[in-house]
Amino acid sequence: MINKFTLYPAIDIKNGKCVRLLFGDMDKETVYNIDPLDQAMWFVDQGAEWLHIVDLDGAVKGKQVNKISILKILKTLQNKVKIQIGGGIRSKEKIDFWLGNLADRVILGTLALENTSFVNNLSQEYFKKIIIGADVRNGMIASHGWEKQSDIAAIDLLRKFDQSLVSSVIYTDISKDGSMKGVSLDQTISFAKQNPHPVIASGGVSSLNDILKLHENFSNGIEGVVIGRALYDKKFTFEEALYAIRKGIS
């Protein structure tokens, strides 16, 4: 059971580098660090208890393109931080690979959309190790690195999953991701209230106030937030974000 609000600094990897995209567009990237491990260590030094790592190339191509970079992070930082990984994980073999290489949780997006029964038929050894990535554009799920758009409503999809297997759901508003225009607070709260799983908000965080507003809705099912560009563009530090939710100040 989730018992505290958690901050998840994001490490998105493209061509072996730590980048941020604008609205999920692979052609609109900003490179922030050529060494993802260095970036991961920086977040851990600032007090991060979790890292949110996504293989962006993998999400589009359906295979682990940046495997070497991610494995280096997992092996170097074992026992120092917990890690959830996403991007192109579309088979049991890939799930087992990451869980067998020290990942704590895996994020399933495209696979969850295309094969709900696969997720629900996983055995209890996967208890709370699965995160569903609800990447949403106008309320509907997008997949394959956000390049394909479905006509399936996010809330309808999430109601299909076994609560005993799913740790949480990452709710990403694609229209806000990487924009620092503020979180889609009302939509995220509404989704969390209707959804049986704990929700991790994602997309658009621009200030400590955004984080505090989400934190205030812990009782509504929002258990954490993924923070990306705001940290990289130094709108605030990870340490400041941690202090803010602990003290409840902006």
Q: Which residues contact 201 (CB under 8 A, 6 or more apart)?
A: 171, 183, 188, 214, 222, 224, 225, 226
Contact 223, 5 (CB under 8 A): yes
**Residue 219: other Cβ atoms inside 10 A:** 7
CATH number, domain 6-245: 3.20.20.70
pLDDT tens-digit readout, 121-175: 999 899 999 999 988 887 788 866 666 777 888 889 898 998 888 999 999 887 7
Return the active site residues: 12, 135
Enumerate the domain spans of the chain. Answer: 6-245
Number of alpha carbons in the 13 Å side-chain half-sphere of residue 126:
22
Q: Which two tokens stand for residue 250?
A: 């902006």
What letter would DSSP give residue 18? Answer: E
- Please give the average pLDDT of every successive group of 10 residues along the chain, which has 250 residues: 83 94 76 96 97 93 90 97 95 96 94 90 92 86 73 88 90 71 88 93 92 95 95 95 82
pTM listed for this prediction: 0.92
Amino acid at 11: I
Spatial separation of the C-alpha atoms in residues 49 and 43, rounded to whole Å: 9
